[in-house]
Amino acid sequence: MAELLRIEGLSAGYGEAVVLSDITLEVGEGQSLALLGRNGVGKTTLVNSIIGVTRRRAGRIMLSGRDITALSPEGRAHAGIGWVPQERNIFKSLTVTENLTAVARPGAWTPKRVFEMFPRLAERKGNLGSQLSGGEQQMLAIGRALALNPKLLLLDEPTEGLAPIIIEELLRALKRLFREEGLAAIVIEQHAKQILGLTDEAIVLERGRIVLRSGSPSLLAHPERLERHLGLVTA
């Protein structure tokens, strides 16, 4: 598997606060990685560092062999990083279709393919972003990231606060993206069991450091490893 993302010795945070310390990891092309840990251990900060909105103290970030450490968030997006934040950040005054076409870049993921992935959005393509439910807004946020045709997709708590039926739809879509489409991804998720069933590998953060990296199937088969490290439950 060819290497897509490489992070070397990254230390970063906000202002004077250092949240991450000496993070080193690699993600291969087509590989999906679950990012696990308790609240406040640096998961979102790691994703924010990849997109370029933290204060870096040390280390570098490579994408497809290119050093993107000095690039702006916009430059990193153009380099191939797609991001779905917790806040979703859709354009609420634009229609669903306009949300997708406003950011679309050439590639396999067209608005039409996004609508095939999320039929709920196809049914509401003329609705404003503000007229969508929370789950539909999350689908649109993912669709917008896909319309950028990224090499790497970053998702921060994609199922947080959603109804169970919507979570099931989202997880099916993510499974298709990771397993069938081969899109590389890093996913932050509090509910370990549901994301470990979709991803290839997982890392656990504690106090801004990686304390465990393992294959996702192995962690599903031996949940006591998560419990031993962080007291996490996989239910």
pLDDT of the residue at 162: 93
Residue 32 CA to residue 133 CA, distance in Å, equals: 27
Sketch the domain layout of the chain as residue ranges.
Answer: 1-80+172-235, 84-150
pLDDT bracket for residue 234 (50, 70, 90): very low
Decide: helix, strand or coil at residue 15.
coil
Q: What is the radius of gyration, based on Cα positions, of the chain?
A: 17
Q: What is the pLDDT of residue 235?
A: 42
d(CA 105, CA 219): 37
Per-residue pLDDT at 101 exceeds 60: yes
Tell me what the mean pLDDT of segment 119-134 comes to.
97
1-80+172-235 belongs to CATH 3.40.50.300? yes
pLDDT tens digits, one per residue of 163-177 = 999 999 999 999 999
pLDDT (tens digit, 9 = 90+) per residue, 27-55?
999 999 999 998 899 999 999 999 999 99
Written as one string, the DSSP assignment of 71-109 is --HHHHHHHTEEEE-TT----TTSBHHHHHHHH--SSS-
Q: Is the pLDDT of residue 110 over 60?
A: yes
Could you tell me the pTM of the whole model? Answer: 0.94
At 12, is the secondary structure helix, strand, or coil?
strand
DSSP string computed for 146-214: HHT--SEEEEESTTTT--HHHHHHHHHHHHIIIIIS--EEEEE-S-HHHHHTT-SEEEEEETTEEEEEE
- Residue 225's pLDDT is 85
pLDDT above 80 for 144:
yes
Q: What is the chain's mean pLDDT, rounded?
A: 94
